[in-house]
Amino acid sequence: MNYSKITLAALMALLLVACSDENKPLGIMGGAEEETGVYALMGQMGDVFPKLSMVDSSSRGNSMLAPKGSSITVYELDSLTFDTTGRSVVDSVIDDEGHFAFDSLDLNSPYVLIEEIVPSLDTCKYVSGLLLPQITLGVECLAYTIPSKELRAIVDLRKKEKIRVNSLTTAKVPLLREYIAEGKTFAEANQMAERKILENFGIYKNLGSFEKMFDENSELSYVNKLIQYTEKDARKGLDWFDAAYHYASPEEFMGNVQLERYLLNLKKMIDYRIGFLAKIDGLGRCTEARENDVGEIGILNSENSVSVVCRSGRWTMGFKTVEYTKGSLVDNRDGKSYKTVTYNWGGVTQTWMAEDLIYSDSAHALCQTRSNASLCRIYGRYLWWNAMDVSMEDLNIYWVSLRGDTVYLNLECRKAFAGLLDSTNEFDYDACYAGRTSWDYDYANAELQSTLNMHQGICPDGWRIPTTNDWKTLLQNLGSLYGVDYVKAVPVLYDETATGFGLKSSSGLAMDDNGRIYVTGRMGDFYNHFAVTDLHLSKVAFFGGFSSGSGFGFRMPTEYQYSEGAYDIPPFNEVNVRCIKN
């Protein structure tokens, strides 16, 4: 017998078997055959979130990264079943940024489970924007315990990329094993698990691998934050703080990179929460075919709801878009341009400024009683008589008691209450009160040089100060389109996309010298005062949020305005101006 030929044939057979195994798909029967090798593994352990709370500029924001010395275990997994084989390697995080590195892992399988058990930690959490009252008490941070948690990821070591182990990868591990047990390849199981997690939270697009090294500005950082929410957490604050930030004035944040980023982060996180709740509340997926569809999302511990609208593939806070025409106006006095909006209400056409007027000159001062620009916008840029372009001599102000007693303010008293006297001069205000500590009603008349319906005031040429009826016409027609009473139509004025009007909430942001962000004005509130020409009224007010029990309203002072103090005298009210076209 020729043994050399037999031996050669056997060797060829073995070689063919080896080639056949080498070309076999890695994912057959859930994984791959054992593949002995020496692998390197490096990355970062911990959660990265977008900055959504007020933190010291020297901190890592809202990131929860594993501290130096934290123990990390790498478990070898069976290539077919993805069960642990009993082999493992332990090492430590090398810095306070959560970085780790395994230079040489001698394993029989390229698949491993990476795990860190993070112990609970007592720490100090900086006060969030939702805890503003604490700021006024001088509290900068609150005692806070980070609960114990486990972070895991299953990875293929043949991929030479750095990886991040986080809450998203942890949530994926059980799904990954489930799909592999069903016979899916590792790649298929990865995609299916990530898609399942995203869709459970109302997200229907591919955001990339959960293990990639994303930063705080990545979309995955928002999803990583979102999966920390319970349904209760996601609903909390929707009708107060979240709505106020959603409709905040973006102009106030421009020019400061940190404030601008903070606002954009808040708005984006609100949209992710809205998408999650839309999934829970059965609104379905927002698609191109459903553009401008509307729905409602329930509010925590309330029978009320928040209106949401389908826009550009996602549910967002807002209302159905109505017909309007955008335009612009240039104020020839200073060259400033303003957005305008025109509505055709059947036989009635209204063109409004879609921004507040901010014109000033020596006779029409801006922010006469406030130096803070944000507070000035919220509480009113003009004194009413300045907005109306009425001189002090043309004002007729008098107070009346319930018994009918009356006192008229002389010119000097009027100037004193308007803050026009030299502050160094002592003034006898008691004389203006005619010996009474308070009066029951305020009256004010102005000798206007034109009819109330055509009073230009401080508005540019061709425009005028609106009347209360102008505002009612706007709200009544919008209410008709939305199927609600005119008072309940107020919120749609805040959705610029829906109505073009662009009212803004009362919340603003500022930064102190230490880089901490804080809220200015009425946090979680909507509050706007606008000048009207009507005698005894002087202004209309739009309000909502915290101060009014989360409802919205349209307030007109009665003809007999109850006095709460000297500066509640109508001509000295602080107001903003939205002009209407003649």
pLDDT in tens, 269-280: 999 999 999 999
The verdict on residue 342 lying in a domain is yes
Which residues constitute the domain of residue 66? Answer: 23-226
pLDDT tens across 473-521, in order?
A: 999 999 999 988 887 888 899 899 999 998 887 666 666 666 666 666 5
504 and 374 together in one domain: yes
247 with 270, same domain: the answer is yes
According to the model, what pLDDT value does residue 139 have? 39
d(CA 194, CA 28): 21
Quote the CA–CA distance of 247 and 506 in Å, as a whole number.
9
Q: Are residues 290 and 211 in the same domain?
A: no
Query: How many other C-beta atoms lie within 10 A of the C-beta of residue 31?
Result: 23
Residue scoring higher pLDDT (43 or 139): 43
Residue type present at position 103: D
Q: What is the pLDDT of residues 558-572, one digit of tens each?
A: 433 333 333 345 677
Once rounded to an integer, what is the mean pLDDT over residues 357-363?
86
Helix (H, G, I), strand (E, B) or coil at 139: coil
Total-model pTM: 0.79
Per-residue pLDDT tens for 157-170?
A: 998 789 999 999 99
Cβ neighbours, 10 Å, residue 185: 18
User: In this model, does residue 329 exceed pLDDT 50?
Assistant: yes
Q: In whole angstroms, what separates CA 132 from the centre of its chain?
A: 16
Whether residue 455 contacts residue 441, with contact meaning beta carbons closer than 8 Å, is answered with no
What pLDDT digit, counting tens, does each position of 109-151 carry? 999 999 998 766 666 554 433 333 333 333 355 566 666 779 9
Query: How many domains is the chain built from?
Result: 3
Asked if 172 and 34 sit in the same domain, the reply is: yes
Contacts of 264 (CB under 8 A, 6+ apart): none
Residue 178: phi, psi to the nearest 5?
Answer: -60, -45
Same-domain status, 129 and 184 = yes
Judge whether residue 231 has pLDDT over 50. yes
Specify whether the CB–CB gap between 518 and 509 falls below 8 A: yes
Q: What is the pLDDT of residue 446?
A: 64
Last residue of a domain, one of 251, 286, 317: 317
399 located within any domain: no
As given in the structure block, the two tokens for residue 178 are: 């489930």
Higher pLDDT, 51 or 151: 151
Element housing 113 (H / E): strand 111-118
In the predicted structure, residue 457 carries a pLDDT above the cut 70: yes
Mean pLDDT of the chain: 79
- Let me know if residue 411 belongs to a domain: no
Q: Within this chain, do residues 359 and 216 fall inside the same structural domain, yes or no?
A: no
Backbone angles phi, psi at 251, to 5 degrees: -60, -30
Residue 144 counted as domain residue: yes
Domain termination residue (choose one: 195, 226, 257): 226
Is the pLDDT confidence value at 27 over 70? no
Residue type, 546: F
72 falls within a domain = yes
**What digits encode the pLDDT tens for the residues 386-443?**
888 888 787 777 777 777 788 888 888 888 877 777 765 678 878 887 777 667 666 6
Same domain, 370 and 519: yes
**CB-based burial label for 350 (10 Å; 0-12, 13-18, 19+):** middle
Does residue 18 register a pLDDT over 80?
no
- Of 226, 261, 287, the last residue of a domain is 226
**Which pLDDT band holds residue 366 (cuts at 50, 70, 90)?**
confident
Q: Is 513 exposed, middle or buried (0-12, 13-18, 19+ CB in 10 A)?
A: exposed
Residue 419 inside a domain? The answer is no
Q: What is the mean pLDDT of residues 574-580?
A: 91
Distance from C-alpha of 395 to C-alpha of 409, rounded to nearest angstrom:
10
